């Protein structure tokens, strides 16, 4: 590989973005940073830009444009601002790979535009496929664009499928750590505070995904994402709780054989795999030692207590705009919980009620997805 891969990181100041930059820093002969995009963390964006010298940067918060521009002007780095600029920046012909790591629905428009401009996608934003999976996968096929998953579970499935493209999948198992409240009942969950929910036992992630992980909504979103990434039916996707987070996910083939991908919980590995594919790049990450983990355990998820996973499955089975509604209502509910406006269990209630209140559309257009997202947020907000 003589030419460096030029990477655009959408969401460079978040958990995935900062770890992606660590991977790039460790592989300077393989990757270079072409574009950095952040929502509002101007200080970190400037620091990243001074270190990695991208061609261009975008700050979503337009009030911080002048601040960023002034800081980067002497370094010949182009600066843009606003949501429109985030969507348009991926059109640059100097970009090879777009790492889509903007959190939530906000990442949809830029990912779709990147696909339209035939960029390889390293997808960390699962909501893109949750909200508009049918539309996004169809666009990817039409534009002959590869989507490489960055989520640790989907990366595991993808790694297990390399060399198996012609073999039928019977089933996949997505593993869930169970989060901080594994084994707890509804009585316990009715009184918990956000500080408890933000303490994930195995992974270091942003606030939104950490709360989703604690409520099992994250696993529900991953089930929906897996359907589109791997062209599966809902009955082919199973969730199994694995508290140690060593087995990242498994594939069962038609002959009954299982393949799993194992490793210590470290997001840098799936990030590196997606950006470097098909190469496996040498690194100095801490290695897994079997002797440190004499027991790996597996449990059934508790769908009675953690109803979000059940809600996600039923939205997936209905299809159409239902996953879009699920995602929008959940984003509103998590934001309210993080701002101490509702309790932990109320998040599921808000999602369930919103799903019932919005009309079903079987095959939405992009415009209908946008309208549906806005309507679901409005309905969810009224319940808070």
141 by DSSP, 3-state: which?
helix
125 and 185 assigned to the same domain:
no
Model pLDDT for residues 359-374, shown as the tens digit of each residue: 999 999 999 999 999 9
pLDDT at position 200 is 85
Calculate what percentage of the chain has a pLDDT beyond 70: 99
Mean pLDDT of 273-289: 97
Q: Is residue 269 part of a domain?
A: no
CA-to-CA distance for 340 and 326, rounded, in angstroms? 21
189 and 294 assigned to the same domain:
yes
Tell whether the model's pLDDT for residue 271 goes beyond 60: yes
Last residue of a domain, one of 280, 306, 332: 306
For residue 364 the two structure tokens come to 């939405």
257 and 384 assigned to the same domain:
no
Tell whether the model's pLDDT for residue 2 goes beyond 70: no
Give the least confident one: 54-63, 187-196, 255-264: 187-196
Mean pLDDT of 120-127: 96
Q: Is residue 275 part of a domain?
A: no
CA-to-CA distance for 70 and 64, rounded, in angstroms? 10
45 and 74 assigned to the same domain:
yes
Last residue of a domain, one of 306, 333, 358: 306
Instruction: Say if pTM beats, i.e. exceeds, 0.85.
Output: yes
Closest of 6, 69, 278, 88 to residue 165, by C-alpha: 278
186 by DSSP, 3-state: which?
helix
Domain span including residue 15: 5-149
Tell whether the model's pLDDT for residue 320 goes beyond 50: yes
141 and 26 assigned to the same domain:
yes
pLDDT at position 60 is 98
366 and 236 assigned to the same domain:
no
pLDDT at position 360 is 97
CA-to-CA distance for 268 and 285, rounded, in angstroms? 8
Closest of 124, 52, 112, 63 to residue 86, by C-alpha: 112
Closest of 356, 362, 349 to residue 376, by C-alpha: 356
158 and 72 assigned to the same domain:
no
Provide the pLDDT confidence category of residue 1 given band limits of 50, 70 and 90.
very low
Mean pLDDT of 266-276: 97
CA-to-CA distance for 250 and 257, rounded, in angstroms? 10
130 and 212 assigned to the same domain:
no
34 and 99 assigned to the same domain:
yes
pLDDT at position 206 is 85
Domain count, the chain: 3
Provide the pLDDT confidence category of residue 205 given band limits of 50, 70 and 90.
confident
12 and 101 assigned to the same domain:
yes
Q: Is residue 16 part of a domain?
A: yes
Report the CATH number that the domain containing residue 357 is assigned in CATH. 1.10.1740.10
The residue with greater pLDDT, 11 or 2, is: 11
pLDDT at position 226 is 98
Q: Is residue 276 part of a domain?
A: no
Q: Is residue 221 part of a domain?
A: yes
Closest of 152, 168, 182 to residue 264, by C-alpha: 152
**Is the distance from CB of 39 to CB of 13 less than 8 angstroms?**
yes
pLDDT at position 321 is 97
Tell whether the model's pLDDT for residue 149 goes beyond 80: yes
For residue 367 the two structure tokens come to 């415009």
79 and 140 assigned to the same domain:
yes
Q: Is residue 59 part of a domain?
A: yes
Tell whether the model's pLDDT for residue 68 goes beyond 90: yes
Mean pLDDT of 39-57: 98
Give the least confident one: 193-197, 221-225, 287-291: 193-197
Q: Is residue 109 part of a domain?
A: yes
Report the CATH number that the domain containing residue 144 is assigned in CATH. 3.40.50.720
Last residue of a domain, one of 306, 341, 365: 306
Give the least confident one: 104-118, 193-207, 343-357: 193-207
Residue 237, CB-side half-sphere exposure with 13 Å CA sphere: 28
Please, what is the average pLDDT of the chain?
A: 96
36 and 117 assigned to the same domain:
yes
**C-alpha to C-alpha distances, 299 to 130, 151, 182, 240, 288, nearest whole angstrom:** 25, 21, 10, 6, 22
Q: Is residue 282 part of a domain?
A: no
């Amino acid at each position: 590989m003589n030419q460096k891969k030029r990477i655009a990181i959408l969401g460079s100041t978040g958990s995935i973005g900062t770890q992606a930059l660590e991977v790039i820093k460790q592989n300077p002969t393989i990757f270079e940073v072409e574009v950095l995009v952040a929502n509002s963390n101007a200080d970190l964006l400037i620091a990243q830009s001074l270190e990695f010298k991208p061609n261009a940067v975008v700050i979503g918060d337009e009030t911080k444009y002048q601040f960023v521009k002034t800081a980067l002007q002497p370094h010949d780095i182009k600066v843009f601002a606003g949501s429109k600029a985030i969507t348009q920046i991926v059109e640059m012909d100097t970009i090879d790979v777009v790492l889509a790591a903007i959190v939530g629905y906000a990442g949809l428009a830029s990912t779709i535009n990147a696909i339209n401009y035939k960029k390889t996608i390293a997808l960390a934003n699962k909501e893109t496929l949750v909200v508009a999976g049918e539309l996004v996968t169809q666009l990817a096929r039409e534009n002959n664009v590869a989507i490489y998953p960055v989520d640790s579970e989907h990366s595991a499935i993808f790694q297990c499928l390399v060399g198996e493209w012609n073999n039928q999948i019977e089933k996949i198992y997505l593993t869930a750590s169970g989060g901080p409240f594994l084994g707890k009942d509804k009585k316990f969950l009715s009184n918990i505070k956000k500080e408890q929910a933000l303490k994930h036992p195995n992974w270091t992630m942003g606030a939104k995904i950490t709360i989703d992980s604690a409520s099992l909504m994250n696993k529900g979103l991953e089930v929906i994402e897996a359907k589109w990434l791997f062209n599966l039916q809902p009955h082919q996707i199973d969730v199994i709780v694995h508290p140690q987070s060593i087995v990242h996910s498994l594939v069962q083939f038609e002959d009954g054989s299982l393949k799993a991908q194992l490793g210590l919980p470290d997001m840098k590995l799936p990030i590196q795999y997606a950006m470097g594919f098909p190469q496996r790049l040498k690194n100095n990450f801490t290695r897994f030692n079997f002797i440190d983990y004499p027991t790996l355990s597996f449990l059934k998820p508790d769908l009675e207590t953690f109803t979000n996973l059940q809600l996600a499955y039923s939205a997936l089975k209905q299809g159409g705009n239902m996953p879009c509604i699920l995602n929008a209502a959940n984003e509103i509910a998590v934001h309210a919980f993080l701002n101490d406006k509702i309790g932990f269990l109320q998040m599921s209630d808000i999602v369930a009620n919103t799903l019932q209140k919005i009309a079903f559309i079987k095959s939405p257009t992009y415009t209908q997805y946008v309208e549906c997202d806005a309507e679901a947020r409005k309905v969810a907000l009224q319940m808070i």
